[in-house]
Amino acid sequence: MTASARAPRGRSRLDGARVAALIAVAAVLAPALAVVARAAVAGEAWSRLDPGRVGRLLTNTLLLAGMAGVIALAVGLAGAWATSRHRFRGRRLAIALLLSPLGVPPYLVAQYWIEISGPTGPLQSVLGGVFFGKLWAAAAVIGLCTSPLCFGVLRAALGRLDRRYEEAAATLGAGPGTRLVQVVLPLLRPALAAGFALVALYACSDFGAVSALGVQTFTREIFFELELNFDRGAARSATAVLSLVLLGVAAPFFALDRWGRGAARFGGGRPVDAKALSIGGQVAVWAGVAVVVVPTSGLVVVRTLSLMEPGRGRLWGKAFEALGTTLLWATTAATIAVVVALLIAWVARRRQMGALVPLGSVGFVLPGPVVALGALLLVTASAWSRAHLYGTAAVLIAAWVVRALPEALQALDAGLEQVPESFEEAARTLGRTPVRAVGAVTLPLLSRSLAAGWVFVFAAAMRELPAAMLLKPLGSRTLSHELWAYAQDSMYADMAPAALLLLLATAPATTLILLRAGRDS
């Protein structure tokens, strides 16, 4: 019998899946590779690099990432501990509120911090513009807005933590404090690392919050260089060099995140029973919730509504036009991202190509302006693409897919982990082709993960700012761009309609995410 005759009938088609997944990953990596390649050949640009400026950007970016990470971890850990170890009236509401900052873009939060403390703001006399140009303010905005990421990761980890480790420590004489420090925190190390890394990566890639608050970081500088020299190819070398330095800064956080996710989970047994919370404890919990919600989601919702002025038909018209455009592009991006993520995650799990998932997650270390730079380098590389792709929405949608693919991959990889391969094998032995086996068995079981991945990418695309500003076709604007333009001119009342539409458009997605998180409590 020859080898080819021995191979099962479907093997060649599955190899097709493998090839398709490799092509998809190559496409996702392409912008990053284009940036690296351009930086590698930009010898002269390296020599023109100003060490003082790079040092300043490095300090700011690392300080911002570190401070935001610490804030988010502290808030997330306290919230996770309070809500998973205790019972009290309104616990589900507290959980939803602690997750609610996910629903508001950090740049909107930052704009409102500037607005309320600024010359025309209601708190001008108290705050007097204290936030502008302050690194700690940017760290606070980003830390609070991303604290739900830490909260979610740590809540899940606490829920999986077998109660017997703490019980064993107790029977060996360890009091509550010792148990927390010597048993719980060490066992949560992977989750703490993953949460910190997620926040640090976000801080490295943030454009809007640092720009609104006037803090110089790599991402912000890369954006402005690109915007200034948008049509000058030569200037892109210098930007590529700066981008490469930023990739180097973000890469360790990416590795930390991978380690945290991969590290063994010490679960399996029952988690610690939730205890009734004393009145004093409840007061403390709700005070903590207020600290998270009031300056973020609470501020955004209240201020957007209170800035609204009657009439302004023309403003609303423009805002609705931008909404239509953004909805079309964001749904396209979300759909493409989910299909690509399914392909990559499936091949990674079923065809033992696990490295495809981290490779496909390169978007984690690619801030919007860097993806935009990579996309521009690729599109302007050939005459054909310059004529047919340059300046089209396709480039922006592709950039969004690359940027948000990690979220979709994560959802589908976790979903596939729960679907044993034997299900598909059973379908095969009952006469289904490989593709139909996946369609008949795996896809229905993955419906929740598919929905979650889609919603994540959709929400991320709807609010994405820097790539949208750099890559949008001439004459159209995304909703985020629309509101940003007014905010930059301190026309906050004019910004309100676009801000409201953005919040409403992403509200169903946010609600779905909150419901998912609330269900497992």
Binding residues for another protein, rule: CB under 8 A, are 162, 164-165, 167-175, 182-183, 186-187, 189, 264, 266, 269
* Nearer to another protein among residue 1 and residue 172 (C-beta): 172
User: Rounded to the nearest 5°, which phi and psi values hold at 465?
Assistant: -115, -60
* CA 366 to mean position of chain CA atoms: 11
Nearer to another protein, 30 or 272 (CB): 272
How far apart, in Å, are the Cα atoms of 227 and each of 94, 223, 282? Answer: 42, 6, 49
Q: Which is nearer to another protein, 261 or 477 (CB)?
A: 261
Whose Cβ is closer to another protein: residue 113's or residue 196's?
196
CA distance readout (Å), 414 to 35, 48, 87, 346, 443:
30, 45, 29, 11, 14
What H or E segment, with its residue span, contains residue 86? strand 86-87
CB of 274 to another protein, least distance (A): 13
Q: Rounded to whole angstroms, how far apart are CA atoms 364 and 250?
A: 9
We find the least distance from the C-beta atom of residue 268 to another protein, in angstroms, to be 8
CA dihedral sign, ordered 115, 117, 119, 120: positive
Specify the residue, 119 or 173, whose C-beta has the smaller distance to another protein: 173
For residue 459, report the phi and psi dihedrals to the nearest 5 degrees. -65, -40
CB of 172 to another protein, least distance (A): 3
Cβ at position 193, least distance to another protein in Å: 13
Q: What does the alpha-carbon distance between residue 140 and residue 290 come to, in Å, rounded to a whole number?
A: 15
Q: What span, in angstroms and rounded, lies between the C-alpha atoms of 275 and 84?
A: 9
Instruction: For the chain, give the longest Cα–Cα distance.
Output: 87
Nearer to another protein, 175 or 475 (CB): 175
CB 158 → another protein: shortest distance, Å? 16
| Shortest distance (Å) from residue 201 CB to another protein | 25
Cβ-based nearer residue to another protein, 183 or 242: 183
Minimum CB separation of residue 131 from another protein in Å reads 41
3-state class of 367 per DSSP?
Answer: coil
Q: Are the beta carbons of 34 and 169 closer than 8 angstroms?
A: no
